[in-house]
Structure 1
Amino acid sequence: MSLAEVRARIDALDGELVRLLADRQILVRQAAGFKVDEQAVRAPDRVEQVVQAVRERAVDAGLSPDVAEAVWRAMIAAFIELELDEHRAGS
């Protein structure tokens, strides 16, 4: 496989990831409707639960659990900010 082919496959995966993140965003917005305050949005216990589960899934899938954790923490932080912005706008 050439570098160009590897990059094309990465680009295709990136497209799939964007579609999956869009689906996740829809669900995050739905979940936001159940949350009454900033603490409920931040939900640190839930974040740790999700991260631990992702680390375990990563090991099973052959992905570095440290990479998985870093990606998920960044993603979760971005979605928390989205939720907080929407809560503030709705207040």
Structure 2
Amino acid sequence: MVGLILVGLGCAPIYLCMIHETPSRFGKASSQSVMGLQMGFAYMGSAFLPPILGFIATKTSVVIFPYFLLCYMVIMLIGSEKLNEFIKK
């Protein structure tokens, strides 16, 4: 339980940093729209990912939790890198 709390506290600043960097990455004119999208997807993730994990865990085991997190970390990393490539063009 302590490890899970520490991981949560370690990842918490990422969302705030992402919101803070939005105007410099996308420009001040479109930053409000992009922030809205960021917040919307964050709320969708927090609403849908726990039930999805619960459904999968009932069919298998809770042991899949680290793999579930790893999968979503890889998806976020790929998305972040694709965004960086898009911005540089």
Both proteins in one fold, TM over 0.5? no
Q: Normalized against structure 1, the TM-score is what?
A: 0.41
Higher RCO (CA-CA < 8 Å; seq separation 6+): 1
- Structure (1 or 2) with the greater helix fraction: 2
